Structure 1
Amino acid sequence: MATSTKQTDDSDHEEAFEDAVDQLQISRPPDDALSPTDFNSCILDCHAALKMFLNNQFSLAKNRMEPHIDWSMYHALGYGTILYIQAVMTFDMNDIETAIQAIKKSLIVCNKQRRKVGLFGSFSREASKNSYNELTNEEIHAELCYAECLLIRALLTFIQDENLISFVKGGLKIRECYKVYKDCAKILANRRWESESQKHHFESGVKMGVGSFNLMISLLPGKVLKLLEFVGFSGNKQLGLSELEHGSDLFTSLRGPLCSIILIAYHTVVSYVLGLADGDIDMADRLLQPCLQTYPKGALFLFYAGRVAEIRGQIDEAVEKFEESIASQQEWRQFHHLCYWELMWCHCFKGDWLMGMKYAEILCRESRWSKATYTYQKATFLMMCEQTEDSQTHLEYLMGEVPRLKQRIAGKSIPIEKFAVSKAKRFLDQKGYLTLPALELIYTWNGFNIIGTRQDLLQPILLIIETTINKILTNKDDYSHYIDEYCLALLLKGVCQKFRGQFLQAEQCFLEILQNEKRIKVDTYIPPYATLELAILCLDQRRIPEVKKHLEAAKKNYKGYLLESRLHFRIHATRLSLSQMVEEDPVSESLSKDENECPSPPREVTPMSSPVKEVSPLDDGPIPESTVVNGATGIA
């Protein structure tokens, strides 16, 4: 449990506001018949404001809370949260500073209403089961609101300043927040509740906090996870998902819809960006339905409806939902950017590269996140179209702009920007060409997990890759880095074949890359990614010892390549899937061990020197329905 704030930030002059909490005079509620006058009416009023926010009435929600932020913890927290969301979407430093000041004020209001403990005390040391019942409703909710404010304050610290001290301060606040949530869980378990509605409001907040922390920490790569566990953090993915699901069941409570939003975001977005695209889409859809019934025009829920359709391969339906989300509100145009991003990929999955270019152009013009990335995407989509003299000139201009547009957020370069800058410079060095750069981007963003659900989308892409491989093999002298170009095409071909259920052919592609990894000079990210693809392929086939071997190789044999952190997230996600598989079916591991004692003969690999004839993706004959890969999970 948190110690008094005076100790926590004594040396932090910037946080001196917390030292003065005892001198703070909390204002009385405004003298208005419609204003909340007690704690219960404050929760009801903030619940009404949350409904406004989820129904696209952003300014109304903010204006409803603002008059009461000097005395009501929930109004202060809600107001600060809205400003935080706005700051994250705009990345404007003025918005970030405004949000920070609002959250500082919220911390003061919450801290004033918390139960005070001794200089070195905490609930954990001083409280017993009986004393939990002595806490007032205001005091226990003040703990919950204080934890949420600390978390938001820490996240704002990370994006505000590149100074290392700011990262340390942010980390300390998250640690403090984590401890407060743990104590809130003890209160929930041990307190006698007079009102079910009060319990549900508190319970949904505890489930949201504990669940989010466990889920977030469990996603982190092993090296980071060990460090966090050393300083007192722990993360359990299944526990996190379970706690959030329990919180979402309390849908009519204050934070019930927020638990649903976090779960839907994990299953439809986070698992695709940082994991193996193994989110539970059926669960996400189930959680989404009551949200859509309650907020049928809610921009956020329409966005998620589009995302669910997209992941299922229902691209046209996804486009409709994203466009509906855009049309549902015009107040926060920054929210449109999420939809533009998905619309861009949807059109690319369909092979409509000009429409993909259109949305990349809109993002480049309007979004502040990463203009370098958007510009590079626009250029790669243009390369997929028929080239003219004018388009080549425009390509050279766009690629030349990419390095100039590179930026730093929280003192760090964005990894995908480093990748874009590297590729743009290579385009210019190579006198105007790159190999399959748009398909390469689809791969880095896990887009093949979506394309793989639709054979009619996958086959044209595989044909493009096969044609490119034949061109490379036929005209080796035309390429500055022939091996790099060839291995990139092989990686993409192997991924396509995996989603066609052609596991042996896919494995041959990945093995051939590893046979030639020492000859790769520039695209050094390809061998570690090919090694991970081998691990995932073996996981799909339950070849458990080989999964472990390839994961260990991917983790330890490579370093210093582009998009390294993204790969380590996926390695960790694969380890989690492997552990779950073994836990659910321990027999499969023992069978794999027995099979491993009698290894199969070495697999033959097509030598680099012999060209491959141009093959239609249909040449291997129809694929039995039972072997087509499930695109949502990547498992046949």
Structure 2
Amino acid sequence: KHHKYSALTSFSDALDLASDQREIQHVCLYEIGWCSMIELNYGEAYRAFERLKTESRWSQCYYAYLTGACQGATGDLEGAIVAFKDVQRLFKRKNNQIELFSTKKAEKLRSPSLSKELCILSVIEILYLWKALPNCSTAKLKTMTQVLQGVDDASCEGLKNLLLGAINKCLHNTKDAIQYFHLAAKDEVGRLSNSYVQPYSCYELGCVLLNSPESAGKGRMLMLQAKEDYAGYDFENRLHVRIHSALTPPRAAVQP
């Protein structure tokens, strides 16, 4: 706890000190945004990402998406919809996975049925995809579980179960994690709206099963299925890298 708090303080101090060094300021803003998301401090996160959205040259489209998700998570849905409209306007790199993902998600969220819960779901999704959930405290993970269980939207059902599985995996509730990953892998409706949910769920289920000797064979099979049976979804090569490293036994240290 203390460690994370001091990281945030240090980045805030650095931000003040680097007033004439744009790049350093942006690194600090990015870290403040991420630390705040991990702490579920949506207001702080949205302010950091909003500055990056206007100042950064790296990917304004992605920062606009993060701004919208965090802003909506605070309950400011009107502001979030404005940010989600910006995502489309700032979409520049047609072959950039992160920008494509941000644009598709923003388009879906920009509807009158937008809710605070859906925005929080989107923040948790980002934390999951960027492998940041293991950095979240037990208390925050439990808060996420409560919010997700309240999301009632058929098009997000698979994603919701994938995220609940990932959170339970972090909390070492293996039985619950397995159940949620099973549900997510079976969800056909979600396949249309979140194409990566099924292959990622298959992979996650494989990971959990690989961990115990009696189910390792089934785990390997699921990993291979995740790799072979799906194509053309978001972050595909990223998943292939994860599958490869999960299936490659660690090599014994080679003597120099």
After TM superposition, is the score higher than 0.5? Answer: yes
Q: Which secondary structure does the structure 2 equivalent of 1:368 belong to? A: coil
Q: Which secondary structure does the structure 2 equivalent of 1:319 belong to? A: helix
Q: Distance in 1 between matches of 2:237 and 2:25?
A: 28
Q: Which residue of 2 aligns with 1:85?
A: none
Tell me the CA shift for residue 356 of structure 1.
0.5
Tell me the CA shift for residue 392 of structure 1.
3.2
Q: Distance in 1 between matches of 2:144 and 2:206?
A: 23
* Equivalent pair of 1:407/1:413 in contact (CA under 8 Å): no
Q: Which residue of 2 aligns with 1:523?
A: 194
Q: Distance in 1 between matches of 2:56 and 2:234?
A: 24
Q: Which secondary structure does the structure 2 equivalent of 1:464 belong to? A: helix
The answer to whether structure 1 residue 573 and structure 2 residue 254 are counterparts is: no
- The AA in structure 1 aligned to 2:166 is V
Could you tell me which runs of 5 or more consecutive residues in structure 2 were left unpaired when the two chains were aligned. none
CA change 1:336–1:547 in 2 (3 A) is farther
Q: Which residue of 2 aligns with 1:508?
A: 179
Number of equivalent positions: 248
The answer to whether structure 1 residue 450 and structure 2 residue 121 are counterparts is: no
- The AA in structure 1 aligned to 2:24 is F
Q: Which secondary structure does the structure 2 equivalent of 1:379 belong to? A: helix
Q: Which residue of 2 aligns with 1:351?
A: 40
Within 5 A, what are the aligned runs for 1:183-194?
none
Measured on the aligned residues, the alpha-carbon RMSD in Å equals 2.3
CA change 1:546–1:381 in 2 (3 A) is same
The answer to whether structure 1 residue 363 and structure 2 residue 52 are counterparts is: yes
Q: Of the candidates 102, 108, 111, which is equivalent to residue 426 of structure 1?
A: 108
Q: Distance in 2 between matches of 1:340 and 1:535?
A: 36
Could you tell me which runs of 5 or more consecutive residues in structure 1 were left unpaired when the two chains were aligned. 1-311, 473-478, 585-636
Q: Which residue of 1 aligns with 2:7?
A: 318
The answer to whether structure 1 residue 402 and structure 2 residue 87 are counterparts is: yes
**Per-residue CA shift, 1:189-228, capped at 9, x if unaligned?**
xxxxxxxxxxxxxxxxxxxxxxxxxxxxxxxxxxxxxxxx
**Per-residue CA shift, 1:285-338, capped at 9, x if unaligned?**
xxxxxxxxxxxxxxxxxxxxxxxxxxx983202213323444554553212222
Percent identity between the aligned chains? 24
Q: Which secondary structure does the structure 2 equivalent of 1:520 belong to? A: helix
Q: How high is the TM-score relative to the length of structure 2?
A: 0.87
**Per-residue CA shift, 1:138-195, capped at 9, x if unaligned?**
xxxxxxxxxxxxxxxxxxxxxxxxxxxxxxxxxxxxxxxxxxxxxxxxxxxxxxxxxx
Q: Which residue of 1 aligns with 2:30?
A: 341
* Equivalent pair of 1:313/1:450 in contact (CA under 8 Å): no
Q: Which residue of 2 aligns with 1:467?
A: 150
Q: Which secondary structure does the structure 2 equivalent of 1:501 belong to? A: coil
**Per-residue CA shift, 1:338-391, capped at 9, x if unaligned?**
2211211111222210000010011112110111111111111112123xxxx4
Q: Distance in 2 between matches of 1:538 and 1:347?
A: 32
Q: Which residue of 2 aligns with 1:414?
A: 96
* Equivalent pair of 1:396/1:432 in contact (CA under 8 Å): no
**Per-residue CA shift, 1:94-143, capped at 9, x if unaligned?**
xxxxxxxxxxxxxxxxxxxxxxxxxxxxxxxxxxxxxxxxxxxxxxxxxx
**Per-residue CA shift, 1:555-609, capped at 9, x if unaligned?**
1111111222222222223234xx118x69xxxxxxxxxxxxxxxxxxxxxxxxx
CA change 1:393–1:384 in 2 (3 A) is closer
Within 5 A, what are the aligned runs for 1:239-318?
314-318=3-7
Q: Distance in 1 between matches of 2:143 and 2:189?
A: 31
Q: Of the candidates 205, 210, 222, which is equivalent to residue 550 of structure 1?
A: 222
Q: Which residue of 2 aligns with 1:559?
A: 231
- The AA in structure 1 aligned to 2:33 is M
The answer to whether structure 1 residue 535 and structure 2 residue 206 are counterparts is: yes
CA change 1:574–1:336 in 2 (3 A) is farther
Within 5 A, what are the aligned runs for 1:140-289?
none
Q: Distance in 1 between matches of 2:101 and 2:2?
A: 28
Q: Of the candidates 159, 165, 179, which is equivalent to residue 488 of structure 1?
A: 159
Q: Which secondary structure does the structure 2 equivalent of 1:458 belong to? A: helix
Q: Distance in 2 between matches of 1:520 and 1:385?
A: 28
Q: Which residue of 2 aligns with 1:178?
A: none
- The AA in structure 2 aligned to 1:438 is V
**Per-residue CA shift, 1:251-280, capped at 9, x if unaligned?**
xxxxxxxxxxxxxxxxxxxxxxxxxxxxxx
- The AA in structure 2 aligned to 1:523 is N
Q: Which residue of 2 aligns with 1:122?
A: none
- The AA in structure 2 aligned to 1:356 is A
Q: How high is the TM-score relative to the length of structure 1?
A: 0.37
**Per-residue CA shift, 1:26-46, capped at 9, x if unaligned?**
xxxxxxxxxxxxxxxxxxxxx
CA change 1:563–1:432 in 2 (3 A) is farther
Q: Of the candidates 374, 381, 384, which is equivalent to residue 73 of structure 2?
A: 384
